[in-house]
Amino acid sequence: MKKRTKILTILNSIYVLIVFFFLLSELTSFEVKNQAIKSFVYFGLLSGTPILLIWNLIISKSNKKMITTILPILMLIGIFIIGPMKILYSSSTWKTQIIKYQNGHLNFKKVEFQMQDVGALGYNKRTVEVIYLTNVFMLVSNVEKDIEQRVEWVKVDKEVNELGLKNP
């Protein structure tokens, strides 16, 4: 019985981490740049929610059953409100195509043209200001309208083409 409790604790901890990264990614300007991590979070949420809900209902002790089922139930409701297909389509990372401006003072702050592959629906496109926290995590915000007049921004127009497209 102790082995089941340890496994349940580990699974619930991983699920809480997945929910944390999903909510952080969807509700704030924080984004995951690594496709493997983002896919793990999004697919883990979609597949892990019903599995963990059933697992918690069957395996949990009666005094912890209520606590361990609240988060999966709330996330299952959220998944149905948002729509599983919309979550699947947003599981792709944004790929940098062109670095338009580089901050002269901070090397990790850039203005980039990015594209997101959404499968059969084509590509989403955006131009955003990006602050790289690490190679995996970044903060994204809208570009200011007067960016060309600002002294700290240097026009670069460097093609990166992370998607490997012929004409981004």
Written in H, E and C, the secondary structure of 91-124 is CCCEEEEEEEEEECCCCCEEEEEEEEECHHHCEE
Cα Rg of the chain, angstroms: 20
Contact (Cβ atoms closer than 8 angstroms) between residue 69 and residue 56 = yes
2-27 vs 35-59: helix crossing angle, rounded to 10: 140
Query: What is this structure's pTM?
Result: 0.85
Q: 5-37: per-residue pLDDT in tens? A: 788 889 989 999 999 999 999 999 999 999 999
Q: 64-81: per-residue pLDDT in tens? A: 677 788 899 999 999 999
Contact (Cβ atoms closer than 8 angstroms) between residue 111 and residue 153 = yes
- The pLDDT of residue 148 is 82
Q: 36-47: per-residue pLDDT in tens? A: 999 999 999 999
Percent of the chain with pLDDT over 90: 60
Between the alpha carbon of residue 101 and those of residues 10, 15, 40, 77, 159, the distances in Å are: 44, 38, 31, 41, 11
Q: 91-121: per-residue pLDDT in tens? A: 999 999 999 999 989 999 999 999 999 888 8
Which burial class, exposed, middle or buried, applies to 36 when counting CB atoms under 10 A from its CB (0-12, 13-18, 19+)?
Answer: exposed
- The pLDDT of residue 145 is 85
Tell me the average pLDDT across 124-144. Answer: 94
Q: How many CA atoms lie within 13 A of 154 on its CB side?
A: 9
Q: What number of residues does the chain have?
A: 168
In this model, does residue 122 exceed pLDDT 80? yes
What's the pLDDT band for 164 if we cut at 50, 70, 90? confident
In this predicted model, which residue has the larger pLDDT, 100 or 149?
100
Contact (Cβ atoms closer than 8 angstroms) between residue 91 and residue 47 = no
Dihedral sign from CA coordinates of 48, 49, 54, 55 = positive
